[in-house]
């Protein structure tokens, strides 16, 4: 955020008025000095003597300024980041009664920034080139008066010469200011440029293949993945082999941190496998055009993100030209239509920043509608139904079953009804695929799978007289 706002502004200030000052300063000096030489080459020697002092002091000034400028941009960025985070995390701060602590921390950081700014201010006041210019003016006057008494130049020439020397004051100041701003602008430009040249997580293939005949058959061939790249033994996914026929539903289960979300991030190609490969309809994901891949995948991610726009705009995010009928159809399938209509402004209700005005379950259903609207070939649910009550989930299940006839679906969930209905089930454990099969098969062969069900069958029977 700081890069996009503060740093670009600093670059901007260097270009305007910084560059203007540089040019103006340069031409003023050129013009004044030429005239000074014309009036009295001898007196202009003063400037020649002064030149090395100019060079030394400007060089010294810039050298001292550089670290301060760098610290200034960095501290500013730190402050920005902190501010943004504490505003988004304000509920957590309040719930842990940390307001004072956070305010204190902000004060400390703001103090640091002020200190750096003061340092810069003090340094700027010690801009010695200005002093040199004043000395140049004084010497011109003294030496010039002497020359006038000797009759070597006229009084009017002396006055013109001194006036010209005085015009050098402003360019000296301008050049100093511009070089200060140049330092800050450069520090800012470096930060912006570093980000621009940073490698995206996944590069687009040189000749990307368009995914035209979308069927949705997905194959994992010996896929390993680690968030730290190759130089680690910690594998988040460890040699996964998997074949998902087009149009089938696959349930992924496993304890927290076992790699379920990571597996689907690889399908959306947010990351590339560190070993092995993933193909869709026979095309290696690394060779497929990123947009044609992602346009054909509808994802309901674990952390739902909604934009601070209307419900309609959120549902139609991937397909802004969608008609009201299409939007409502998707919302109905996601069991979202009724609660949306219960809002005074219906589909025009603004959901607030990140959807704060909606409940967790409502946000999920809007996200489901958003994913369904694009009519994707592959559908991914990450824990999507866990915040929806069993009754609604059953309704969604039926609705989705209807629209999913020709879709490949990945569902990460702990809901037994959903798991049971899947064509195949895989269990992940610390990144390894430890069991694989249908419900009937796994109930007989996998201890992990049985354990999942035992949790529920251990429930004692209801007391007599209690209505369900």
Ligand X SMILES: Nc1ncnc2c1ncn2[C@@H]1O[C@H](COP(=O)(O)OP(=O)(O)OP(=O)(O)O)[C@@H](O)[C@H]1O
By CB under 6 A, name the binding residues for ligand X: 227, 236, 254, 256-262, 302
Taking a C-beta distance cutoff of 8 angstroms, is the pair 443, 450 a contact?
yes
d(CA 401, CA 230): 40
DSSP 8-state code for residue 239: E
203 binds, among Mg ion, ligand X, none (CB under 5 to 8 A by kind): none
Displacement of CA 134 from its chain's centroid (Å): 50
Minimum distance from residue 382 beta carbon to ligand X (Å): 7
Give the contact letters, 439-468, x = binds to Mg ion (CB under 5 A), - = no: ------------------------------
Peptide bond before 53: cis, by omega within 30 degrees of 0?
no
Minimum distance from residue 227 beta carbon to Mg ion (Å): 13
Taking a C-beta distance cutoff of 8 angstroms, is the pair 116, 82 a contact?
no
179 vs 258 by CB, closer to ligand X: 258
> Is 261 near Mg ion (CB under 5 A)?
yes
52 binds, among ligand X, Mg ion, none (CB under 5 to 8 A by kind): none
d(CA 306, CA 295): 18
Q: 14 to each of 116, 171, 180, 243, 320, how far by Cα in Å?
A: 19, 16, 9, 57, 40
d(CA 136, CA 164): 11
Minimum distance from residue 431 beta carbon to ligand X (Å): 7
d(CA 179, CA 120): 13
25 vs 259 by CB, closer to ligand X: 259
254 vs 355 by CB, closer to ligand X: 254
Minimum distance from residue 225 beta carbon to ligand X (Å): 9
257 binds, among Mg ion, ligand X, none (CB under 5 to 8 A by kind): ligand X
> Is 226 near Mg ion (CB under 5 A)?
no
**Locate tokens 């440029």: which residue?**
193
d(CA 382, CA 303): 9
Beta pairing, strands 218-225 & 237-244: antiparallel
Minimum distance from residue 413 beta carbon to ligand X (Å): 10
Q: Tell me the number of residues near Mg ion by CB under 5 A.
A: 2
167 vs 302 by CB, closer to ligand X: 302
Minimum distance from residue 302 beta carbon to ligand X (Å): 6
171 vs 273 by CB, closer to ligand X: 273
DSSP 8-state code for residue 270: S
Minimum distance from residue 429 beta carbon to ligand X (Å): 10
141 vs 271 by CB, closer to Mg ion: 271
d(CA 222, CA 343): 49
136 vs 411 by CB, closer to ligand X: 411
157 vs 302 by CB, closer to ligand X: 302
Taking a C-beta distance cutoff of 8 angstroms, is the pair 50, 135 a contact?
yes
DSSP 8-state code for residue 383: S
d(CA 322, CA 374): 9
Question: Of the listed pieces 79-87, 125-133, 259-267, 338-346, which binds Mg ion according to CB under 5 A?
Answer: 259-267
Minimum distance from residue 177 beta carbon to Mg ion (Å): 53
**Locate tokens 């008494």: which residue?**
149
Minimum distance from residue 388 beta carbon to ligand X (Å): 17
192 vs 242 by CB, closer to ligand X: 242
Phi-psi region of 293 (alpha: psi -120 to 50; beta: other; left: phi over 0): alpha
d(CA 256, CA 275): 23
157 binds, among ligand X, Mg ion, none (CB under 5 to 8 A by kind): none
Give the contact letters, 280-319, x = binds to Mg ion (CB under 5 A), - = no: ----------------------x-----------------
Q: What residues line the site for Mg ion (CB under 5 A)?
A: 261, 302
């Amino acid at each position: 955020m700081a890069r996009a706002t503060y740093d670009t502004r600093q670059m901007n200030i260097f270009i305007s008025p910084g560059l203007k000052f540089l040019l103006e300063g340069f031409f003023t000096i050129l013009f004044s000095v030429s005239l000074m030489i014309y009036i009295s080459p001898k007196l202009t020697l003063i400037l020649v003597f002064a030149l090395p002092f100019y060079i030394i002091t400007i060089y010294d000034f810039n050298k001292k300024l550089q670290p301060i400028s760098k610290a200034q941009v960095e501290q500013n960025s730190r402050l920005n980041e902190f501010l943004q985070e504490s505003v988004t995390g304000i509920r957590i701060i309040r719930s842990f009664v940390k307001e004072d602590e956070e305010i204190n921390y902000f004060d400390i950081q703001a103090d640091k920034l002020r200190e750096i700014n003061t340092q810069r201010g003090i340094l700027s006041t010690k801009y010695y080139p200005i002093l040199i210019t004043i000395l140049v003016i004084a010497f011109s006057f003294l030496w010039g008066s002497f020359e006038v008494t000797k009759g070597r130049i006229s009084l009017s020439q002396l006055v013109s010469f001194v006036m010209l020397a005085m015009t050098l004051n402003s360019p000296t100041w301008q050049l100093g200011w511009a070089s200060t701003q140049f330092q800050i602008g450069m520090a800012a430009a470096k930060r912006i440029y570093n980000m621009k040249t940073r490698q995206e997580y996944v590069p687009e293939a040189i000749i990307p293949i368009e995914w035209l005949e979308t069927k949705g058959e997905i194959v994992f061939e010996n896929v390993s993945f680690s968030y730290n790249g190759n130089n680690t033994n910690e594998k988040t996914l460890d040699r996964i082999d998997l074949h998902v026929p087009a149009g089938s539903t696959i349930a992924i289960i496993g304890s927290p941190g076992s790699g379920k979300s990571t597996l689907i991030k690889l399908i959306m190609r947010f990351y590339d496998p560190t070993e092995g490969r993933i193909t869709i309809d026979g095309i290696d994901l690394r060779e497929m055009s990123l947009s044609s891949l992602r346009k054909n995948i509808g994802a309901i991610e674990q952390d739902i993100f909604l934009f601070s726009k209307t419900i309609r705009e959120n549902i139609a995010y991937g397909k802004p030209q969608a008609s009201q009928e299409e939007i409502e159809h998707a919302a109905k399938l996601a069991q979202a239509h009724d609660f949306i209509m219960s809002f005074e402004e219906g589909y025009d209700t603004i959901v607030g920043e990140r959807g704060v005005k909606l409940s967790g379950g409502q946000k999920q259903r809007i996200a489901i509608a958003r994913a369904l609207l694009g009519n994707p070939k592959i559908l991914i649910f990450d824990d999507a139904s866990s915040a929806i009550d069993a009754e609604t989930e059953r309704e969604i299940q039926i609705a989705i079953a209807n629209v999913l006839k020709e879709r490949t679906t990945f569902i990460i969930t702990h809901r037994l009804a959903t798991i049971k209905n899947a064509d195949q089930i895989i269990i992940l454990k610390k990144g390894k695929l430890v069991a694989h099969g249908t419900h009937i098969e796994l109930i007989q062969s996998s201890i992990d799978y049985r354990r999942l069900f035992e949790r529920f069958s251990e429930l004692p029977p209801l007391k007599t007289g209690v209505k369900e």
